[in-house]
Structure 1
Amino acid sequence: MIGTSTCSELLSTRGASVATRYDRLLCARIDVRTEDGLHAAQAGARLVRQAVVAARAQGLRTAELTLDVGAPVTGAVLEQLRNLVDDVADVHVRRAGGTVLVEVELTPLLGRQRTQPSPRLGAA
């Protein structure tokens, strides 16, 4: 695949974790994992929000997530993304079987466009 991962970042809190891979196509691929329960879902959604803000700060153009239709974190993530008016230009959501595919168009950074993510992030 042309857009192989170049950097990764892991965020975690009690009950939730988010792994973000930055690729050469200026896309952040975000994977959220949560334990059961509303508290873990809300924590996971806040971590996704943090990952999206970090991706935009790196000059990335999009972020992608695949979420489980029945998981409580799905609704919480979509709510967080819709509230990121300064960082998110648009959110595209479509259902594919038991999953929800989410593509987030990030607002461009004015005067600062990167061609690749910053190398200061830990390598995968």
Structure 2
Amino acid sequence: MKAFNKDLKQEFIAWLNFIAYLPCRSRLIGCLTSHPIDENLIVQSPIFNKTPLIAIHQKEGQPHDVNILAASACDVLICNPNHYAFLCEILAQQNKSKTIILTHENWLPDWCWIFHQHRFLCRQDLVA
């Protein structure tokens, strides 16, 4: 695990515990992010809750369809602000309800209400 400052490490552990105890057991978790907390979620989470995580990256020259297909298989998507536009593009094409974790938001952004079929979670849910 990469070295974190104390606050980032605590947040990382809190998200790991939160994902491990989601009421519905996830078959697959997708991570749309490149932040150190979230990269370590990909590495460490299967150790804690036996649910595989996959990285979904919007790369230059890679067809969007590949990532959208990968995301459609996921029950949970983890995202940070740098990837919100891509997340919205993915969610607009999803019929199946998903849990979306916005790891860097204290409160849900207004745009979340557009996607009413999905469950959005943010930092305020860590303390609930």
TM-score, normalised with respect to structure 1: 0.35
Q: Larger RCO: Structure 1 or Structure 2 (Cα < 8 Å, ≥ 6 residues apart)?
A: 1
Which protein has the bigger helix share?
A: 2
Which protein has the bigger strand share?
A: 1
TM-score, normalised with respect to structure 2: 0.35
